A and B are shown apart, each in its own frame.
Chain A
């Protein structure tokens, strides 16, 4: 198991313009674009990292943030093993929205989903932006709901990789039993999903180079 590649399906959720796509761009390409076009529907990217001599392939689903796109989200967080719920530390409304997402994930997503709460745009605090969501608030919510918590800046890259590493570390820990559970769960759901699960294995062996 340790020599193979573990695929982690990860979904990003959060209010519009909090920096979801930017976090992904930083993580995948170590890049930043000031005025990134809003994500329409969803975007899909992958990135491999090595955590504790174990290769993890993140399959990242980046979703659109606007409220009315929320009805599409279940399509993307279906079967996700991890989720980043992102808010903007300078926008209190985005934190409320983050709460909603956490709630929705706990109710609708797979039971063992690892959720990381991410307060983004901390770079703006240095540039004279005013912090509107205290670090403690985020920490408190994370503690209450059992989430990982990070404050990041996609612009400077601060903490971005740690978010993914944190998730990656948490998943292989219970990898063996998790995978089994996941498989059982999938088998019991739909045929379509089941096929996917089988395919994941093939993927891991083949180690596609994207």
Chain B
């Protein structure tokens, strides 16, 4: 028990601790990341096993019998864990993960057979396409091993179509070419398509970089350990990469290490398809790419030729279509230009995909959050690892990112001479993004002494620039030891980076990223908002505060859209639009009436009109600017403009006239829009005025004939107002307005299109008498209904419409005020809406206390002349002070005259809301409307309560 108690006590602390760690990836995610497998791969089964790999004999015949057979060439047996995914067999050594990793695409498996073994052992002999054999000896209970094998078997079966692609794929592999040429003696074999370097030379001096010797090493390695889709990666593999991959081999090893090879194999033909599918299209990304094509490693000769440019164009364009969320980002051109020296277009394309997805996520995104984040992470590493330098940089206000940002963003391609940059890339693809941090830290560390002399950015930049330009020179030119003198600055850099800064691990980077992510995102959001608000269309009715709020609401809505629909578009579709408006438009809020299908339909109909009207580009989606422009029109303070705008929503053919159907639709729209007032959810100005009048009345009752000056007026104590009464009045008023509207519409409609309309009914041409009669009958029934009478005029134009609206007090007010003030673009949507509405209305009345006062004065004047009300008993002065208990209320109300009876009873049930003092109205605004919830009986509140 005490154990759990102590655990519970620690819980908050553990929570905090958890915060500082990286969000945990799933086992499959980690596995994929580690072996750079495509997203389709997940672990289906895993088991302990002993694995040995035996290459095919020179004569091509399989040689491997049993790994421990003596007298033959030694074969290593590795003990570790074997994983099965849909398309891969992955084995890793149990003790040192890097000492042996076997990654085998199952397409390379030619045959699987049960190996002759002792009865208690279970072993499989896997023969590969290359002729090599893998012996897998399962460790564990036989039953589980059988299970594993069965899964492997069914995977192999399913994979047969894929396996057919293998021979073609292998023709593109330089390692296969090497083997074929040197072992099988095929001299006439064509060199596989490779990078531009094939024709335009590779960077660096081939004898200096010992190209041939290195190629030989790789050849030996491939022969012994397999290659491309079926390879054992041993410590030697890593070593060969560290000493520098030979130029001819570089493309394939990059592709292999980055997992791009697996993507290319799994998605054969996709690259060409993307290009051909989008061949004639244009986009912003393409424009941007075009600008930079000639500006990508211009010093490399291939990029001054159409061939080089075209390859670059193809890869960048294809990626912009593949991942439109990223599109194109400057620096990608340089990176891809670097890839293309060593890789074919297709290889470079998949390499770029994995680079953006796995290695440097977010670097090239539209907000470049990954870049900003890693700069922050880098700064924190500098602060941590080279504190003296960091302090100096801060003191001298040197912008570290000026030099370091291009290193990360262009993977050192722009900063370091090509021949060295590619060496860093060799290690980058093997070890991941930590390489960038390690090298960057090493650069600063090595140059720290000089940097500590720099006193501004200019000197700082000059030091680094000079350093990079002299990387080929001796790091210790003055040393007496020749060996020491021969060490170049670049070698020194690698040693510093990968020895001294090997402390920088993947986990550290992940952790630091997690730590700073929030802040970076916040900064970006602030910046984006500021920028977008600055470039908003000019608005007449929306202040900057409101725009800012609309911005927030807009993107909050889109966010949900993004999650559920999985798109990154910043535009708003119709469904999201409905959600969006329902957050701050009283008429669009969800309500009781929504249960009625007819009402729902009307609502959608109106919203669709609004949506179409706002959709400036006619793409079925709204941009933020569309929404702002639309709201600006909707919220015009000009009465006539408001009416005109509403008219235009229904005059979709823009002929300045509304036909019968359109008028009916419009009236339904009006009915739908005014529902919140009809149902009494909200109160319009007319009702408010009535309430004010009644308050004034009661004040007068209280004060009687005494002269009242403006200053003396206070809101009366405990005035109770019958909410239901006002609600009912208001509802009636709106219904009447609606029916008046329809009636007047058809009354005043013009007869212009009369003949046309009658024709539509088509009385004359009827050959069938029965039908004719039926039509006549129908016509008569239609005639009976004035509104639908087709013989009656049925077109109204804008001036008529305006006249009809202005003829009705309620509708006039609706367009001049009610509608506008029911759209709360200035309120934050998180706040409880109902409370807000009630409160703001009340705040309004209180803020308008002067108006009440004026009312009172007017009344007092008239009362004085009439000299009629004197009775003190009828004043509500003695009424309840505060409704704390039911009984108290009851007692107080007992004093009232009978005419107030109904009010008292309602008061018993609940109170709508109460206000303590007009002078405290400010304080009120700060508080949520508690009395609502404390009201005695039910939630449906019926009384308005004032108290002094």
Contact = CB atoms under 8 A, between A and B. Distances in A.
A104 interface: yes
Interface stretch (A36-44, A122-130, A153-161): A36-44
Contact of A40 (B294, B367, B405, B528): B405
Contacts of B334: 37, 40
Nearest to B284: A67
Contacts of A193: 397
A196 interface: yes
B401 interface: yes
Interface stretch (B15-23, B186-194, B455-463): B455-463
B786 interface: no
Nearest to A42: B402
Nearest to B457: A44
B406 interface: yes
A40 B399 contact: no
A107 B530 CA distance: 10
Given A36-B295, A199-B456, A208-B455, A16 B288 contact: yes
Contacts of A37: 295-298, 334, 414
Nearest to B535: A100
Contact of A69 (B368, B395, B399): B368
Nearest to A59: B458
Interface string A14-36: 00110000000000000001111
A22 to B, nearest CB: 11
B456 A16 contact: no
Nearest to B369: A71
Contact of A38 (B292, B372, B456, B457): B292
A208 B463 CA distance: 14
A43 B366 CA distance: 21
B410 A100 contact: no
Contacts of A44: 402, 457-458, 461
B456 A35 contact: no
A70 interface: yes
B260 to A, nearest CB: 23
Contacts, number: 109
Given A66-B329, A68-B366, A71-B528, A38 B459 contact: no
Contact of A68 (B304, B329, B395, B530): B329
Nearest to B405: A41
Interface string A80-100: 000000000000000000001
A72 B524 CA distance: 10
Given A37-B296, A38-B333, A41-B405, A202 B414 contact: no
B664 to A, nearest CB: 45
Contact of B462 (A17, A41, A196, A210): A210
B830 interface: no
A100 B535 CA distance: 7
Interface in B330-353: 330-331, 333-334
Contacts of A59: 456-458
B330 A16 contact: yes
B396 interface: yes
A44 B461 CA distance: 7
A46 B292 contact: no
A33 B294 CA distance: 12
B35 interface: no
A146 interface: no
B468 to A, nearest CB: 14
Nearest to B395: A195
Interface in B86-123: none
Contacts of A43: 402
A36 B238 CA distance: 37
A201 to B, nearest CB: 12
Contacts of A17: 291-292, 295
Contacts of B405: 40-42, 72
A197 to B, nearest CB: 9
Contacts of B461: 44
A121 to B, nearest CB: 13
A8 B368 CA distance: 30
Nearest to A57: B458
Given A46-B458, A203-B456, A104 B295 contact: no
Nearest to A100: B535
Nearest to A45: B458
Contact of A71 (B288, B372, B396, B462): B372
A5 interface: no
A10 interface: no
Contacts of B399: 75-76
B330 A199 contact: no
Contacts of B330: 16, 38, 40, 64-66, 69
Q: Which of B295, B334, B372, B399 has the most chain A CB atoms inside 10 A of its CB?
A: B295
Contacts of B27: none
A208 to B, nearest CB: 7
B368 A68 contact: yes
A104 B524 CA distance: 16
B527 interface: yes
A195 B298 CA distance: 40
B281 interface: no
Nearest to A7: B456
Given A17-B292, A40-B410, A71 B455 contact: no
B402 A38 contact: no
Interface in A154-189: none
B395 A41 contact: no
Contacts of A210: 458-459, 462
Contacts of A66: 288, 329-330
B235 interface: no
A1 to B, nearest CB: 20
A133 B108 CA distance: 61
Given A40-B414, A59-B456, A203-B456, A192 B397 contact: yes
Contacts of B372: 71-72
A136 to B, nearest CB: 23
B406 A40 contact: yes
B755 interface: no
A180 B173 CA distance: 67
Interface in B401-415: 401-402, 405-406, 409-410, 414
B607 to A, nearest CB: 33
B406 to A, nearest CB: 4
Nearest to A93: B287
B205 interface: no
A16 B394 CA distance: 31
Which of B399, B406, B456, B527 counts the most chain A CB atoms within 10 A? B456
A49 to B, nearest CB: 15
Contacts of A145: none
A122 B530 CA distance: 33
Interface string B252-296: 000000000000000000000000000000000000100110111
A199 B534 contact: no
A132 interface: no
Contacts of A65: 330
Nearest to A208: B459
A103 interface: yes
Contacts of A199: 396-397, 455-456
A108 B367 CA distance: 19
A75 B458 CA distance: 16
Contacts of A72: 368, 372, 401, 405
8 contacts: A40-B331, A40-B406, A41-B405, A44-B461, A66-B288, A69-B368, A195-B395, A199-B455
- When A and B form their complex, which 4 residue pairs have the shortest distance between CB atoms, in order from nearest? A41-B405, A196-B397, A40-B406, A17-B291
Interface of B: 288, 291-292, 294-298, 304, 329-331, 333-334, 365-368, 372, 394-397, 399, 401-402, 405-406, 409-410, 414, 455-459, 461-462, 524, 527-528, 530-531, 534-535
Interface of A: 16-17, 33-38, 40-46, 59, 64-66, 68-72, 74-76, 100, 103-104, 107-108, 192-193, 195-196, 199, 202-203, 208, 210
Given A46-B458, A65-B330, 4 more contacts: A59-B458, A69-B330, A72-B372, A196-B396
